[in-house]
């Protein structure tokens, strides 16, 4: 080992362990906040003097905590903690903390540093039996003569957990995974989604895609759930009800529309396909996030030579989940039937000359400024599993605008399905 190797290894160890420590702190913070919320819910339901405080509970509690040196627990923070607890009342707190500290989990009194956590309170020899077995909400009591821990739940929260609506696969292990993987900021944003299926969709995507909070907010604000649900195989979105996983098919991976506000291009500005392509490559990281985490960039202006004539495909990607090449051709105008023929030409070439033996057939996406659903239907007949026409939007629309557009597109799609049925 030389000096440079030593220096590199020490730096790598420091970086990796500091990162691991940060993740551990974030996990514990989420659990602490859930416990705070559980205490608040329990107090609001069964507190002996709760009626005396009423609406003044949170301001007074926040003020007293601040006086005692507990920072960051203002009124809004306390309400956020309660909201997260009410969203996931079924967190098995007995497993969420002790498993991370082993059998020597701190034996502190409930008023100690972890006073709002799940602790094992040692029973002193002088304690009376009835006192030693008194059950304090959220505190586990460890009998001094046994290694077993008697878990004391929050009765009101436990009742909510029994009545809470959840999907079949959303058991305690799933909730623990959320709290051990996502930050409290993620959990808080998720808790603000009232629709169970929609929230479950974003829970799965946050875990699968590894979104930062800002990216999650962007995807939610751009109605990713609704955009994916508009896909030709939109029923696959509902499959998470059955198996708790995101179904990976070309139809579920291709979105419509794609929101490209990060390019900074204005719809009124004059630009060509080359300009759009360059803008996408200049913002490749953001574009990959909008496409989906499994997309990998392969090439630009991929050359297709047939009959001694060179053609060029704008962008070529590979999708890890689909195990397929994904061809993207850019159109600054509306979709035209000839575009489908050109993409079919590219896909046939890729299937024969670029696809490896262990890969699935290639998929094509025509990214257009606009489209007519009926024209698309006739132009892509017979190619539904491999060729998709998606619209791109250069500005993040308001929710009302996007909902209106999606509803119109869905109505046309369902009308076409009815006519064919």
- CATH code, 387: 3.40.1350.10
- Residue 283 forms part of a structural domain: yes
329 and 210 part of one domain: no
Please check whether residue 85 is in contact with residue 38, taking contact to mean a CB–CB distance below 8 angstroms.
Answer: yes
In which band, very low, low, confident or very high, does the pLDDT at 9 lie, cut at 50, 70 and 90? Answer: confident
72-81, 107-116, 250-259 — which is least confidently predicted? 107-116
pLDDT of residue 101: 45
Residue 152: left (phi > 0), alpha (psi -120 to 50), or beta?
A: beta
Residue 62, both tokens: 């926040």
CA distance to 185, 227, 294, per residue, from 325 (Å): 35, 22, 12
For residues 186-199, average pLDDT: 92
- Residue 90 forms part of a structural domain: yes
- Tell me which residue range forms the domain holding 277: 250-420
Neighbour-count burial of 7, counting CB atoms closer than 10 A to its CB (0-12 exposed, 13-18 middle, 19+ buried): exposed
Write 133-136 long-range contacts (CB < 8 A, 24+). 136/110
38 and 173 part of one domain: no
pLDDT of residue 421: 54
- Residue 278 forms part of a structural domain: yes
Average of per-residue pLDDT values in the chain: 78
271 and 386 part of one domain: yes
268 and 325 part of one domain: yes
Count of other CB atoms within 10 angstroms of residue 307: 5
260 and 404 part of one domain: yes
Global pTM reads 0.68
288 and 395 part of one domain: yes
Q: Closest by alpha carbon to 161, among 76, 37, 78?
A: 37
In which band, very low, low, confident or very high, does the pLDDT at 137 lie, cut at 50, 70 and 90? Answer: very low
For residues 338-362, average pLDDT: 94
Split into its structural domains, the chain has a count of 3
257 and 405 part of one domain: yes
- Residue 350 forms part of a structural domain: yes
- Phi, then psi, of 312 in degrees rounded to 5: -135, 120
For residues 259-272, average pLDDT: 82
- Residue 114 forms part of a structural domain: yes
Residue 328, both tokens: 């993207």
For residues 386-408, average pLDDT: 78
Strands (E), 279-362: 295-306, 309-319, 324-334
Residues 185 and 116: their CA atoms lie apart, in Å, by: 20
First-to-last CA distance in the chain?
Answer: 72
- Residue 244 forms part of a structural domain: no
pLDDT of residue 354: 94
- Residue 11 forms part of a structural domain: no
272 and 413 part of one domain: yes
358 and 264 part of one domain: yes
For residues 74-89, average pLDDT: 94
**Helix 57-67 × helix 75-87 angle, to 10°:** 120
110 and 150 part of one domain: yes
230 and 284 part of one domain: no
384 and 319 part of one domain: yes
For residues 33-54, average pLDDT: 84
Last residue of a domain, one of 105, 123, 158: 158
- Residue 335 forms part of a structural domain: yes
pLDDT of residue 228: 72
Answer whether residue 268 shows pLDDT above 50.
yes
Q: Closest by alpha carbon to 361, among 349, 373, 370, 371?
A: 349
């Amino acid at each position: 080992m030389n000096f440079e190797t030593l220096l590199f290894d020490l730096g790598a160890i420091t970086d990796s362990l500091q990162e691991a420590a940060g993740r551990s702190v974030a996990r514990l913070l989420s659990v602490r906040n859930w416990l705070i919320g559980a205490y608040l819910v329990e107090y609001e339901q069964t507190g002996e003097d709760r009626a005396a405080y009423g609406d003044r509970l949170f301001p007074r509690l926040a003020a007293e905590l601040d006086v005692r040196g507990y920072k960051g627990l203002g009124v809004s923070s306390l309400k956020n903690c309660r909201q997260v607890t009410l969203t996931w009342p079924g967190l098995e707190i007995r497993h969420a903390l002790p498993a991370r500290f082993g059998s020597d989990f701190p034996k502190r009194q409930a008023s100690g540093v972890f006073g709002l956590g799940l602790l094992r309170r040692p029973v002193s020899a002088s304690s009376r039996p009835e006192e030693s077995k008194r059950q304090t909400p959220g505190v586990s009591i460890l009998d001094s003569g046994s290694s077993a821990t008697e878990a004391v739940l929050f009765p009101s929260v436990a009742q909510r957990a029994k009545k809470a609506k959840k999907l079949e696969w959303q058991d305690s292990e799933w909730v623990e995974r959320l709290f051990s993987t996502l930050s409290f900021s993620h959990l808080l944003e998720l808790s603000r989604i009232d629709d169970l299926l929609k929230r479950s969709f974003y829970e799965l995507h946050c875990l699968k895609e590894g979104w930062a909070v800002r990216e999650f907010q962007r995807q939610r604000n751009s109605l990713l759930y609704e955009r994916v649900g508009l896909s030709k195989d939109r029923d696959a979105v509902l499959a998470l009800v059955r198996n708790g996983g995101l179904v990976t098919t070309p139809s579920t991976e291709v979105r419509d529309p794609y929101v490209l506000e990060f390019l900074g291009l204005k719809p009124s500005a004059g630009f060509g396909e080359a300009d759009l392509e360059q803008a996408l490559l200049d913002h490749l990281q953001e574009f990959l996030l909008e496409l989906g985490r499994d997309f990998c960039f392969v090439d630009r202006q991929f050359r297709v030579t047939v009959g001694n004539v060179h053609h060029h495909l704008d962008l070529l990607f590979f999708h890890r989940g689909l195990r397929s090449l994904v061809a993207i051709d850019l159109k600054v105008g509306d979709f035209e039937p000839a575009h489908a023929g050109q993409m079919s030409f590219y896909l046939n070439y890729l299937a024969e000359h670029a696809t490896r033996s262990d890969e699935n057939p290639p998929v094509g996406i025509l990214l257009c400024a606009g489209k007519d659903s009926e024209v698309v239907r006739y132009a892509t007949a017979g190619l539904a599993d491999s060729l998709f026409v998606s619209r791109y939007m250069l500005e993040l629309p308001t929710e009302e605008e996007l909902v209106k557009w999606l509803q119109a597109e869905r109505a046309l799609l369902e009308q076409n399905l009815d006519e064919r049925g």
